[in-house]
């Protein structure tokens, strides 16, 4: 099932898939009244240990896609560090759940990918209006 996402290996297609995963993990839902966005990372992270491991695996997908773009190893390791830090702190009961609500490793990783694509694949940019 495609769900409307491109399956190609070109940078623009990869970026769209990364953006979709980041949206799902970090900004897919909104808390009414305070208009605060959150995603599956914070929600599934409420399940002790297992939830954090599941969302780490989902975050690893973004890293895998970035690696397939040919990003330098140091950038890939930086992205892995973001996910590892999020997973380690997120696993702490209660404090980790609050942390997951504010530290968005996948959003940070999306920014790393976008910066790389802007420099090395400017044709992949989408002008948002």
Q: Cα(103)–Cα(62) distance, rounded to whole angstroms?
A: 16
Q: What is the mean pLDDT of residues 50-71?
A: 95
Looking at per-residue pLDDT, the higher value among 102 and 21 belongs to: 21
Looking at per-residue pLDDT, the higher value among 126 and 75 belongs to: 75
Q: Cα(89)–Cα(87) distance, rounded to whole angstroms?
A: 6
Highest mean pLDDT among 15-19, 32-36, 48-52 belongs to 15-19
Is pTM beyond 0.95? Reply is no
Q: What confidence score (pLDDT) does residue 45 get?
A: 87
Give every CB contact of residue 110 below 8 A, 6+ residues apart in sequence. 18, 19, 22, 62
Q: What is the mean pLDDT of residues 8-25?
A: 94
Give every CB contact of residue 108 below 8 A, 6+ residues apart in sequence. 79, 82
Instruction: For the chain, give the mean pLDDT.
Output: 90
Hey, what's the torsion of the CAs at 6, 31, 113, 83, to 10 degrees? -110
Look at residues 54, 125, 71 and name the one whose alpha carbon lies nearest to residue 79.
71
Q: What confidence score (pLDDT) does residue 124 get?
A: 67
């Amino acid at each position: 099932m495609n769900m409307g996402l491109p399956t190609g290996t070109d940078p623009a297609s990869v970026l769209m898939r990364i953006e979709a995963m980041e949206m799902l993990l970090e900004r897919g839902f909104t808390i009414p009244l305070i208009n605060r966005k959150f995603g599956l990372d914070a929600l599934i992270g409420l399940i002790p240990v297992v939830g954090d491991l599941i969302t780490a695996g989902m975050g690893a997908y973004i890293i895998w896609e970035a690696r397939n773009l040919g990003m330098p190893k140091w950038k890939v390791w930086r992205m892995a560090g973001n996910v590892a830090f999020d997973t380690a702190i997120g696993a702490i009961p209660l404090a980790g759940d609050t942390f997951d609500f504010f530290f968005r490793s996948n959003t940070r990783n999306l920014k790393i990918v976008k910066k790389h694509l802007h420099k090395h694949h400017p044709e992949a940019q989408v002008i948002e209006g």
